[in-house]
Structure formats: structure tokens, C-alpha cells
């Protein structure tokens, strides 16, 4: 029995879903422990191509139990749509392979409304929210003003709780934002439409996981978003509103004492970032367009073009440290095949001085990248499956990154398909 967390080292979109889909073969249970429907994990397998927002990426494997832990933002509407999309492609989903924590909080209709209202208020100072209601949701959770999924089984108490929350929320909607109030009828309809339909999946997942561990079952913890978007350690305030780092996995899963034996940090062979905020290594113009096109860098959830840049050693080393990664999966190496010379951001310049330390968020705006170039390999590597078959220049690129970030690169991914990878 061993547990593993698969986490992002950078700004998200590193290819975590693809790695979870690949590695679930070795695990009995996959748990999503934070975040909501605001990100997309792309998975390509025998059922087709999917952008999973809430469903754990182990959902495609027969015999694997998938759990949405207490730490997630449980968007029932989103989840039900996703279940339909996936089952329409022939994947079976039932309470046997999907369980929702009774302690997960429900993302309610006003969370999405408030997200949009706040982004509109911020106008040109916006944070680049995906408008899925995540920030208002987590703010409410920490104010103890959310409804737990398990409350759906206690109708009388639920209605009273919702009425109290509705009264409070309407003060904010109407007085702060001048928006329409929410009615109890709307909330009751929401419970009927969505709450009732997720009820079969809701149970005491903490107890289930505890017993599974006792029975020697292995667990894979799946993160959403990367270390640089972590609420406490990321590029605050351009972070997400929950903790994406591996050490939060036991808490957000409902297994506070879980030992994580292996932390696989996913790093893209170059950098991408969606939304606002400092992105020191950002490239612009034709160079950026070429990389964006080569990697097809458009958001899985929003379709927004991603900002792109060379791999950022300073940020990646920091991400490895905050995740306490034991291994790295380097993805999308194939995308760099078109380059004669490959740029790498090796250091930052801060106040005219070279630094290897990832700066405090407020200092990031003035940081400048120091770029070095490594040799490209200029041939298609997407069919390569053995390390020794990779061109020497590609091996050198991987080894250079490995040495600089101080963590073994165990997997090298050369295509989006499940089997397109090299194990070292």
C-alpha cells in the first residue's frame, strides 16, 4: 500500500489530468481534494477526449473508486453535466465508483452570480476569474455560511439553513451590488433539480477512506491547479481560493492522517499561464504565437488563449519545494521540437541583481527573466517511448532541468495520449 499525490508545480495546466489518467492503473482510489469546476483536466483515452472539471480523472478506470473530498467546491450543476458527458461516451458512473463527501460544501447559484458581479465591479483591475463562483464559495465556507452536501438528507434543517443564508446573501446582492435578490422558491427549485440528483453519491467518504486504508488500499490524490496558484504560497492575490499543494491533500480528502509516499509534480516543458497576474518569463509577439500554436495553448474551461513563455527554472524550483515533490513528470516535450534553440529562464533580475529565489508576490512585477538557450532537436519525438531513443539534445534539455530544479524527472510525456510517455 502506498499513496501518491499528483500535483501541479507551476500555474496550472501542466497536464495533471493526463498523468492521473495514466497512473490510476496502479491505485484503488482517486480523490480530488480541492477546487471546483474552475479548471479543466484534459484526458485522452480509449473513450475519447475529455476536459474534466470536477470528476476525478480515475473515473475511466474499471474498479477505481473516485472520491470528491470535503475540500472541493461541490458544483452539483456542473458535476451532473459532466457525468452526462462522460456516461454518454460509454463510461459507467454509479455510487460504486463515484462518492461525494457529505462534508463537501455546496456551491450555490449565488456564488456564480457574485463572481460575475465582482469581476464586473473590478472592471480593468479584475483578477481573471473563470466566474465559476469559486472565490465567493470559499469565502463563504470560511465564514461558515455554506451548506454541506450531507444536509440534503435533512430537509427541515436544510430549508431553515437556506432561508437564513438567503436573507444574509440578499443583503449583499441588493445593497452591495444592486442586483436582484434570490428567492426561496429559486433555491427550492435548485435543490430539486440538482441537489436531489447528487444525493445517491453522497456518503461519509472520510470513513470509507479510513477503512480502505486499513484494508491496504492505495490512494491517489489529484490536485487542481499548480503550486503558484496555491492560496497561501502562490502569486497572491492572483491565486485560486483554496490550497492546491500536496500537503493539503489529506485534509481536503477527509483523511487527515494520511501519509503521502510519493508526490509527483507535473511540469510542462515550457511555461503557460491563464488569466491575470505576474508572469515573469512571458514571451510576446510571433515567438509567443508560434509556441501557443505548437502547444495548442487555449484554456480547457474557458477557451482563453494562454500566456506562454520558456520554462521558468526559478518558479519551478520554488514549486518543487512547496509541493515537496519526490518525482517530476515533464509534459509536452514534443511541443518544443520545432525550435532550433530553446529558451530557458534560468534566473531573475531583481533590482539589478541576479536571484534564484522566487520573489515575494508584490516584488514579482519588477522581476525580469534571464534567458539562456539550449540546443533544440528539430525532429518529431512524439513516437518515442524509450529514453535512449530520444535525441541527445532532448535528453540534455531534460537533464538540464532536472539538475536545476533538484528533483528527478521520472516521466517524460511526448503526446496527449495515455501511452505517449517515457518512463526513466
- Smallest gap from Cβ 221 to ligand GDP, in A, equals 14
Would you count residue 16 as binding ligand GDP (CB under 6 A)? Answer: yes
Cβ contacts of 24 within 8 Å, gap of 6 or more? 30, 57, 58, 60, 61, 64, 220
Q: Please state, in angstroms and rounded to a whole number, the distance separating the CA atoms of residues 236 and 10.
A: 14
Would you count residue 61 as binding ligand GDP (CB under 6 A)? Answer: no
Q: How many residues does the chain have?
A: 424
Q: Which is nearer to ligand GDP, 107 or 412 (CB)?
A: 412
Q: Which is nearer to ligand GDP, 33 or 190 (CB)?
A: 33
Among 13, 28, 102, 140, binds ligand GDP (CB under 6 A): 13
Q: Please state, in angstroms and rounded to a whole number, the distance separating the CA atoms of residues 9 and 268.
A: 9
Do the beta carbons of residue 188 and residue 237 sit within 8 Å? no
Q: Which is nearer to ligand GDP, 152 or 336 (CB)?
A: 336
Among 5, 11, 14, 68, binds ligand GDP (CB under 6 A): 14
Which residues, numbered 291-310, are part of the site for ligand GDP (CB under 6 A)? 300
Catalytic annotation, pick one of 41, 53, 111, 347: 41
Do the beta carbons of residue 352 and residue 275 sit within 8 Å? no
**Residue whose C-alpha is closest to residue 69's, from 93, 18, 105, 40:** 105
The question of whether 41 is a catalytic residue gets the answer yes
The question of whether 13 is a catalytic residue gets the answer yes
Would you count residue 15 as binding ligand GDP (CB under 6 A)? Answer: yes
Q: What is the CA radius of gyration of the chain?
A: 22
Catalytic annotation, pick one of 13, 28, 312, 334: 13
Q: Please state, in angstroms and rounded to a whole number, the distance separating the CA atoms of residues 310 and 281.
A: 6
Q: Which is nearer to ligand GDP, 208 or 421 (CB)?
A: 421
Q: Which is nearer to ligand GDP, 132 or 213 (CB)?
A: 132
Would you count residue 331 as binding ligand GDP (CB under 6 A)? Answer: yes
Would you count residue 234 as binding ligand GDP (CB under 6 A)? Answer: no
- Beta-sheet pairing, 341-350 with 353-355: antiparallel
Would you count residue 415 as binding ligand GDP (CB under 6 A)? Answer: yes
Q: Please state, in angstroms and rounded to a whole number, the distance separating the CA atoms of residues 223 and 31.
A: 9
- 3-state DSSP percent of the chain in helix, strand and coil, to 5: 40, 25, 35
Would you count residue 222 as binding ligand GDP (CB under 6 A)? Answer: no
Query: Which residues are designated catalytic?
Result: 13, 41
Point out which residues bind ligand GDP (CB under 6 A): 8, 12-18, 39-42, 44, 300, 331-332, 334-335, 413-416
Amino acid at each position: 500500500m502506498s499513496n501518491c499525490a499528483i500535483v501541479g508545480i507551476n500555474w496550472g495546466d501542466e497536464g495533471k489530468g493526463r498523468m492521473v489518467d495514466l497512473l490510476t492503473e496502479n491505485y484503488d482510489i482517486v480523490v480530488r481534494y480541492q477546487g471546483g469546476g474552475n479548471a479543466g483536466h484534459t484526458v485522452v483515452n480509449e473513450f475519447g477526449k475529455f476536459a474534466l472539471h470536477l470528476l476525478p480523472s480515475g473515473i475511466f478506470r474499471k474498479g477505481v473508486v473516485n472520491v470528491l473530498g470535503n475540500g472541493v467546491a461541490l458544483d452539483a450543476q456542473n458535476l451532473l453535466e459532466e457525468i452526462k458527458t462522460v456516461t454518454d461516451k460509454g463510461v459507467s458512473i454509479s455510487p460504486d465508483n463515484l462518492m461525494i463527501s457529505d462534508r463537501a460544501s455546496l456551491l450555490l447559484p449565488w456564488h456564480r452570480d457574485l463572481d460575475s458581479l465582482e469581476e464586473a465591479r473590478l472592471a480593468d483591475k479584475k483578477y481573471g476569474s473563470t466566474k465559476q463562483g469559486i472565490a465567493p464559495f470559499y469565502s463563504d465556507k470560511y465564514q461558515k455560511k455554506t451548506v454541506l452536501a450531507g444536509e440534503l438528507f435533512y430537509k427541515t434543517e436544510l430549508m431553515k439553513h437556506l432561508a437564513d443564508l438567503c436573507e444574509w446573501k440578499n443583503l449583499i446582492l441588493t445593497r452591495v451590488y444592486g442586483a436582484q435578490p434570490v428567492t426561496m422558491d429559486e433555491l427550492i427549485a435548485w435543490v430539486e433539480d440538482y441537489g436531489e440528483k447528487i444525493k445517491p453519491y453522497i456518503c461519509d467518504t472520510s470513513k470509507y477512506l479510513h477503512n480502505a486504508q486499513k484494508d491496504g488500499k492505495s490512494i491517489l490524490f489529484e490536485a487542481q491547479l499548480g503550486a503558484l496558484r496555491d492560496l497561501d504560497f502562490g502569486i497572491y492575490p492572483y491565486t485560486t481560493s483554496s490550497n492546491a499543494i500536496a500537503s493539503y491533500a489529506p485534509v481536503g480528502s477527509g483523511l487527515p492522517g494520511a501519509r503521502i509516499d510519493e508526490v509527483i509534480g507535473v511540469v510542462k516543458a515550457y511555461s503557460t499561464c491563464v488569466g491575470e497576474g505576474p508572469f515573469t518569463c512571458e514571451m510576446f509577439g510571433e515567438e509567443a504565437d508560434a509556441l501557443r500554436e505548437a502547444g495548442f495553448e487555449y484554456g480547457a474551461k474557458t477557451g482563453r488563449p494562454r500566456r506562454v513563455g520558456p520554462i521558468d527554472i526559478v518558479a519551478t524550483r520554488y514549486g518543487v519545494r512547496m509541493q515537496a515533490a519526490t518525482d517530476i513528470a515533464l509534459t509536452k516535450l514534443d511541443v518544443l521540437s520545432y525550435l532550433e534553440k530553446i529558451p530557458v529562464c534560468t534566473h531573475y533580475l531583481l533590482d539589478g541583481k541576479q536571484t534564484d529565489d522566487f520573489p515575494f508576490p508584490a516584488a514579482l512585477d519588477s522581476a525580469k527573466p534571464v534567458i539562456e538557450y539550449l540546443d533544440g532537436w528539430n525532429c518529431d519525438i512524439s513516437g518515442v517511448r524509450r529514453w535512449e531513443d530520444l535525441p541527445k539534445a532532448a535528453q540534455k534539455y531534460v537533464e538540464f532541468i532536472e539538475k536545476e530544479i533538484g528533483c528527478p524527472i521520472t516521466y517524460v510525456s511526448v503526446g496527449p495520449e495515455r501511452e505517449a510517455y517515457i518512463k526513466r
